[in-house]
Amino acid sequence: MALRPDPTFHASPKLAMQAPPETYAYTLLLSPDQSKPDALAVVDVKPGSATYSQVVHTVVMPYKGDEFHHFGWNACSSSLSPLTGHAFLERRFLIIPGIRSSRIYVIDTKPHPTQAKIHKIIEPDELFRKTGYSRPHTVHCGPGGIYVSALGGGGRDGTDGPPGIFIMDCETFEILGRWEIDRGAQTKHYDFWWNLPRNYMVTSEWGLPPQYENGIVPEELLANKYGHHIHFWDLSARRNVQTIDLGANHQMGLEVRPAHDPIREYGFLGVVVDTNNLEGSIWTWWREGGRFHIEKTATIPAEPAPKDQLPPLLQGFGAVPPLVTDIDLSLDDKYLYVACWGTGELRQYDVTEPRKPKLAGSVHIGGIVRRTPHPSGRTFAGGPQMLEVSRDGKRVYWTNSLYSSWDDQFYPGGMPGAQVMAISKPGGGLELAKDYWVSAPDGYRAHQIRLEGGDCSTDSFCYPSV
């Protein structure tokens, strides 16, 4: 039992930025053909270490076919919430959902990251029985325990009832039940995050399981049948208070990134593709006068390309869509990083003025047509996908895989798992670190990254940075 709060819990984003830098990263590995069990890789990210940028430990799961995607900590800075007063949890367990199997693993990272091991396995049946949800995805540590979004409802194909969020106990990891009391117009799910002192949650939409599990369904996309709404909720009342339609052509608004400083009542949303012109876009949402608003604040155009260089899926369009599949915001709320998985670009926007993002930096790596190599000369298959920014904002890490069946459609040439890092230069600008390259073990792809002690998409802060 801890006598003092975990030293990795910080009252404000500013305090988190001043904390010591990360020395280990956790990266999810997935076996795209399900021939091997998925795994968690522990990567040494301490500069100067003999094993720098290498996988130093892996936790291999006992089952196959889980499809690891996103994951998160059992506890974070939200434990310092003045409301729920539970400061003595430990940031210790990683909660890893299998998005395909609906199985959930709890991994113990103590006593040392290189000794991480399985602590508990929650079988899919327990999730189905207690929540009626399936396909668990985004994990956030919050005031009532661990909140997990589920992308599917009940039944074999996950379409029996709407998907939603469920809560797990942050100590026993028992599934407690559904979070929503009134979901309003919400019928699809993807990501969620919140502003704890302001008491609201924001959720986004991808698509229902038949729309993604066996690959993207082009007819459904062109018919604008993927998600295109954003939902705003009263967090303590568990009620949907407002739903905004982005316009049906804005397909798949995925990652929700609220400003980290809780005094700021705005945030961002990345939209994967506009079916009118294939562009990707960044949207800014904000609360004013008790109502939520959202507008498109940046667009990234598609890049024309000859048909013979395109995968069959894109040949009819003669262009590569940027495919904005992930965005991440630095802890000082200054830079928004945008992954363009199709064109192979990582963009850095200065969002000091949240409704006027300014392009501040960019690096190219991979891409469907560009295929830009890493500065070390290695081939980076795929494009920048899952991002993670260090707490101090100086390093941006990313991997290359989106989702097994979609990877194969957009990058049919294959995609060995890789993780790279770019340095964020003072005053703006990005530069790929030549000496940082992590190869996933043979046959594995790499997805989300979590940094030891917290990162820019984990911790929720309850006090402003003054």
Partner 1 sequence: MTVPIETWTLGWLWLAVVGSGLYHGVNPGMGWPLAVSAGLMAKTSRALWLALWPLAIGHLLAMLVVILPFSILAAVVSWQQQIQIGAGLLVIGFGVFQLLGRRHPRVLTRIKPTQLGLWSFAVAIAHGAGLMLVPIYLGLCRPGELDRGHQAAGALISANLVMAVLVSLVHALAMILAGGGMAWLVYRYLGVAFVARSWFNLDVIWAASLMVVGAIALGFAVAGLH
Where on the chain is the footprint of partner 1 (CB under 8 A)? 1-5, 9-12, 15, 80, 82-89, 143-145, 169-171, 176, 196-199, 236-237, 262-263, 462-464, 466
- What's the closest the beta carbon of residue 15 comes to partner 1, in angstroms? 5
Closest separation between CB of residue 143 and partner 1, Å?
5
**Closest approach of partner 1 to the CB of residue 6, in Å:** 9
Q: Residue 135: which residues within 8 A CB-CB, separation 6 or more?
A: 99, 100, 102, 150, 151, 152, 158, 163, 209
Instruction: Between 212 and 232, name the residue whose CB sits nearer to partner 1.
Output: 232
Burial class (CB in 10 A: 0-12, 13-18, 19+), 172: exposed
Choice between 30 and 139, CB closer to partner 1:
139
Q: Alpha-carbon torsion 339, 342, 344, 347, what sign?
A: negative
Q: 122-134: b or e for each residue (b if 16 or more CB lie within 10 Å)?
A: bebeebbebbbbb
Residue closer to partner 1 by CB (options 57, 264) is: 264
CB of 84 to partner 1, least distance (A): 5
d(CA 347, CA 363): 7
- Minimum CB–partner distance for residue 121 and partner 1 (Å): 21
Task: Count other C-beta atoms under 10 Å from residue 306's C-beta.
Answer: 9
Q: How far is the CB of 439 from partner 1 (least distance, A)?
A: 38
Residue 2 vs 50, nearer CB to partner 1: 2
Q: Is the Cβ of residue 9 or residue 397 nearer to partner 1 in the bound state?
A: 9
Considering only CA atoms, give the Rg of the chain.
Answer: 20
CB nearer to partner 1: pick between 9 and 410: 9
End-to-end Cα spacing for the chain: 31
Which ranges of 306-426 does DSSP label H, i.e. alpha helix? 312-315, 404-410
Residue 27's closest CA among 452, 457, 324? Answer: 452
Report the candidate in 220, 191, 210 with the shortest Cα–Cα distance to residue 152: 210
Of 14 and 64, nearer to partner 1 (C-beta) is 14
Shortest Å distance, C-beta 87 to partner 1 = 5
